[in-house]
Structure 1
């Protein structure tokens, strides 16, 4: 008997490489744990860097307008701060409106085609928004709305794609690593702006125009890499350019191991069924997750657009404020990675989400308490910690929702709903900081505290609902679906 046969694992479900079920026959995994570990490492190399890079350029193109604000952007475009806020709200609206349709397309055509197309599309919009100088409100809001439409499906598509390649006890840390793209972009944006904005005058362009041009063109480069390298699926790990990442046997193992771990991940149809859509939209348990996301992220959403300006209001030079604003995001990176690792290690996502939202709530209270003082150093220190604790819980909330979905189609739409809530927070938080409230923004910080409180309370409700449902199932002897805490 071979080494593989000595280390067989069993399951009562039979699935093939396309995720089709063959009834209740006994199936045996013929691969060894060592072989599986090697394949997981190769999966990490094949898909994670590309997904992270895509997320990084998305966040750069979405938030670099906050850095542009420190370079006379409003005056040179010809808009007010209120109109600037409306443009950012429209960007988030474009994302929210098309999030679910985007994931329906993703489910049908796969990530290599759909994600690659999206990166190209928003990269072009991000690049050409450099030429709205002097054209006023209309072109400004049109480009922001179009940018949102083009970016709409990337994050839920990335999250859903990872659930196809990884097992339940591997996914939280991968979700956290995926958000490295977001965090590195937020942290590096200020440093990039610190250098690029100094190009003002080169080729008769403003610094903020160079910012949009260079970062937009970087996005196009990443799009080409994605299309060239990203595998189509677990069962067909070949890129659109014909690059094969795994042999046919390895592809079978990659697909089989995930489906043996969670048979709900099989693709029973080539599209999301009506029953799956109905199941998602009538799933009341998602409400607490959505409110956690909406409340806690709305509380800090405006900082992406106003953070550098707020730091500059503490008395620092405008260009230097961009670099100083990035420090909290650098701290957020190891915090989020630890949160993802701990959630998988402990096997409990809910308490990690609740603890994360509570910490964010506490530091926003501290920021509000000190807002009206002249303690500039303390203000800067606290806002840095606000950044560092802002959304380390968010990827874990996503993995928690994904694990409690009952089918592949439900999981795809559930991820879309999560990111719809995240981007709706940009609409809610888009008008928190007003010019009339500057420079202390006492009203703005008060609103942020209230929203953060809603998010924390909702995370408590989410934990309680699953604990109570599992308790009732156990009491009633129900051996059905067990909810992941």
Structure 2
């Protein structure tokens, strides 16, 4: 045995002091074998160093917790709280779950001179032998790693530090109450209820805020005199002013009152506003309706982003965001066809076709609002109260799962300071700027594509409304493929870059080519890349923040800046620039270039922070486990 390994003793708390290490190790092995045979007795070992006081040693690298002394070990009931004594014989009851890996690695003069490793393994007789074998293998590997320093350390190097945080991520699906198959069933139930319901209401939200362009080509512009000056652009823009301003407050209200009642109520309310838009007499009344619609819709999208990110672990979330937004894309794809059908009601009760678009879609919105009141679920810590959803035991499993991933499932009391402090973090604004640049493109396509198809490419009213659908179908395919790759390979920023490049290829083709068929092909690329980036950026942000109120603020700023993107698109796509819309085209191209720059800068910074955390020089987001997703 080399010089370093000879400094160690291994002992179990049940072993009387004074026994040689060989005897103690043999007893550990005997207990492990008994455990494999179905014995539920608690088996654990503690490796303690000889030599200097570890509290006086420098911190080197992070295991599951980055700590500098035994006194700062995690509490059994609250992560991060101190535990001043070694684990007792009732450790299983203390910690409340059968497996806890806890490590502190300290280094001096390039050699691992002090290591505390606590492994608590408990298996009941009904636990599968395969799981026990895996756990026993983990003991052997840990003992070997503890007793024998890696080759790189023998050479005085700190490279190849073991990423215990990554191993913890790989074990997220381990739970003491539910098997893997049972966990999947619970999560799929959540998918069917939560993702479907939020997506359906968002589908209506997106349809309601973008049906303006459909009504415009169906006669609204002429009847309300919106062709005069910049009236149409003002009506588009005015929605986003309250939409941006009210989002932070609405997100806090969503958390305090609960999404079931609050989000359901605002969906019903904006349905009523939409019906009112169908009876407006002049453009000023339309402006008032759009302001009220902006206030009400300010609470829905950020509330959904916050709610969805609270239910899923980091590498499950992009597929859910994609399905959520994909349902919205279905709305965008079908909105034109639906508007075309509703416009054929022109003359009924003496109302124009564009008025029936608003009235009938308002009625549909009200029905969806009632369903939202009945079926939308609360946050995980309160979801057992939701009608015919999960039991309290199943909700507790979700909370445990989220805490294993990032330790932020528990509700934190609201204070203004706690809510606003994350605003000092530059990455919050980096994510918001990326989202702003993306929504500048998506809103431009949503509000002006039918007009570009009609005035710029010469299609009829019906054709321009129906030709909106195929690009959004393509966008849905790109979106879900991107999400599948992102969750499987645990990448985020890379996908944002790829989608932006696709959009950068499509926009010049749409804006500057002379052939209409080729320009329409550019619509596919621009629509696909821009819309696929919406859930990709939402997941990018959700993966790299931690804490309930940090998540609430970041969701509000993200979607709020997205609203600013809508303001920008309505200002740069002006009626007087038709049919080419050159200022708008150059703005959207520049937005995608800015996305590439910001993502590149953030990726470099995240990589630096992760490497520093691996060396024990930094704790990210208040957790030694946490690593940024690049």
Q: Which residue of 2 aligns with 1:324?
A: 467
Aligned-pair CA distance for 1:359 = 1.6
After superposition, the Cα gap between the structure-2 partners of 1:232 and 1:450, relative to the gap in structure 1 and judged at 3 Å, is: closer
1:95 aligns with 2:243: yes
Q: Deviations over 1:94-117 (max 9, x none)?
A: 110000000011121111121111
Classify 1:15/1:233 alpha carbon distance in 2 versus 1 (closer, same or farther; 3 Å).
farther
Task: Give the match for residue 27 of structure 1.
Answer: 96
Aligned to 1:266, which of 396, 410, 416?
A: 410
Q: Name the structure with the higher helix share.
A: 1
Instruction: Note closer, same or farther for the CA distance 1:57–1:23 as it changes in structure 2 (3 Å cut).
Output: farther
Q: Is the 8 A contact 1:405 1:411 kept in 2?
A: yes
* Cα deviation code 1:325-383 (max 9, x no counterpart): 2210111111111111111111111111122122212221333331xx2x122122212
- Relative to structure 1, the CA distance from residue 226 to residue 442 in structure 2 (aligned partners, 3 Å threshold; closer, same or farther) is same
Q: Answer yes or no: is the 8 Å Cα contact 1:112–1:239 preserved in 2.
A: no
Matched with 1:431 is 571
Per the alignment, do residues 191 and 20 of structure 1 end up closer, same or farther by CA in structure 2, a change over 3 Å counting? farther
* 2:496 aligned with 1:353: yes
SS of 2:383's partner is coil
Contact 1:264 1:406 survives alignment (8 Å): yes
CA contact (8 A) 2:540 2:629 kept: yes
Residue 54 of structure 1 contacts residue 181 of structure 1 at CA under 8 Å; is this kept in 2? Answer: no
The answer to whether the Cα contact below 8 Å between 2:399 and 2:409 also exists between their aligned partners in 1 is no
C-alpha distance in structure 1 between counterparts of 2:453 and 2:447, whole Å: 12
Asked whether the 8 Å contact 1:169–1:347 carries over to 2, the reply is yes
Tell me what 2:355 maps to.
Answer: 209
In 2, the alpha carbon distance for the partners of 1:415 and 1:390 equals 19
Q: Matches of 1:253 and 1:15 in 2, distance apart? A: 17
| Aligned-residue offset at 1:158 | 0.8
Counterpart-to-counterpart distance in 1, 2:271 and 2:574: 30
1:255-294 to 2 correspondence within 5 Å? 255-269=399-413, 271=414, 273-294=415-436
Corresponding residue of 1:168: 314
Can you give the 5+ residue segments of structure 1 that lack an aligned partner in the other structure? Answer: none
Q: CA deviation at 1:22?
A: 7.9
Match of 1:252 among 393, 396, 402: 396
- CA shift for structure 1 position 428: 0.9
Q: Deviations over 1:435-467 (max 9, x none)?
A: 222222233322322222222322222222212
Q: How big is each residue's C-alpha offset from its partner over 1:284-306, in whole Å with a ceiling of 9 and x where there is no partner?
A: 12232222222232134222111
Matching of residue 310 in structure 1 with residue 379 in structure 2: no
After TM superposition, list the pairs within 5 Å mapping 1:410-449 onto structure 2.
410-449=550-589
- In 2: Cα distance, 1:446 partner to 1:73 partner: 28
Deviations 1:386-406 (A, max 9, x none): 212222022121122122223
Structure number with the higher strand fraction is 2
Q: Summarize the alignment of residues 56-135 of structure 1 with structure 2, pairs less than 5 Å apart.
A: 56-79=203-226, 80=228, 82-132=230-280, 135=281
Distance 2:347 2:384 in 1: 46
The structure-2 alpha-carbon separation of the partners of 1:23 and 1:266, relative to structure 1 and needing over 3 Å to count, comes to farther
1:150 equivalent to 2:296? Answer yes
Select 2:338's aligned residue among 173, 192, 201: 192
CA separation of 1:81 and 1:332: change in aligned 2, threshold 3 A: farther
CA contact (8 A) 2:384 2:391 kept: no
Provide the aligned C-alpha RMSD in A: 2.6
How much has 1:220 moved relative to structure 2? 0.6
Greater relative contact order (Cα < 8 A, sep 6+): 1
Q: 1:310 to 1:232 in 2, by over 3 A?
A: same
In structure 1, which of residues 370, 387, 390 is the aligned counterpart of residue 530 of structure 2? 390
Q: Tell me whether 90-99 or 466-475 shows the greater mean CA deviation.
A: 466-475
Moved more, 409-418 or 453-462: 453-462
Q: Deviations over 1:305-338 (max 9, x none)?
A: 1111111121211122101122101111111111
Q: Which among 334, 342, 345 is matched to residue 485 of structure 2?
A: 342
TM-score, reference length from structure 1: 0.91
- Say whether 1:458 aligns with 2:598: yes
1:39 corresponding residue in structure 2: 186
Residue aligned with 1:179, SS: helix
Contact 1:231–1:244 (CA<8 Å) still a contact in 2? no
Shift of 1:238: 5.2
